[in-house]
Amino acid sequence: MSRGSGKGLSLKDKLDGNELDLSLCDLNEVPVRELAALPKATVLDLSCNNLVSLPSDFCSLMHLVKLDLSKNRLQQLPLDFGRLINLQHLDLLNNRLVTLPVSFAQLKNLKWLDLKDNPLDPVLAKVAGDCLDEKQCKQAAVKVLQHMKAIQSEQDRQRQQKLQAEREMEKKREAEQRAKEAQERELRKREKAEEKERRRREYDAQKAAKQEMEKKTKKETVHTRKPASSSRPPQRPRHKLSWSRSVLRVLLFVLFCILCALAACKLTELQHQPLCVSVNTLYEDVVAALQNHKTLQNMLQHNS
CA 68, CA 74: separation in Å to the nearest integer?
12
The pLDDT tens digits along the chain (304 residues) read 444 554 545 788 889 999 999 999 999 999 999 999 999 999 999 999 999 999 999 999 999 999 999 999 999 999 999 999 999 999 999 999 999 999 999 999 999 999 999 999 999 999 999 889 999 999 999 999 999 999 999 988 998 999 999 999 899 999 999 999 999 999 999 999 999 999 989 999 998 998 888 888 888 887 776 554 445 555 555 666 677 778 888 888 888 877 777 777 777 766 677 777 777 787 788 778 777 776 767 766 666 5
Distance separating the N- and C-terminal Cα atoms of the chain: 175
d(CA 148, CA 132) in angstroms, rounded, equals 21
In 232-273, where does DSSP find H-type helix? 238-267
Q: Specify the pLDDT at position 228.
A: 47
- Which pairing describes strands 15-16 and 43-45: parallel, antiparallel, or unpaired? unpaired
CA distances from 162 to 149, 155, 175, 285 (A): 19, 10, 19, 147
pTM listed for this prediction: 0.57
By the 10 Å C-beta count (0-12 exposed, 13-18 middle, 19+ buried), 132 is classed as exposed
Q: Check if the beta carbon of residue 72 is closer than 8 Å to that of residue 95.
A: yes
Whole-number Cα distances in Å, 245 to 242, 248, 254 = 5, 5, 14
Could you tell me which of 248, 273, 250, 246 has the C-alpha nearest to residue 261? 273
Beta bridge partners of 285: none
Cα separation, 59 vs 80, in Å, equals 7
Task: Give the strand order in the sheet containing 19-21.
Answer: 15-16, 19-21, 43-45, 66-68, 89-91, 112-114
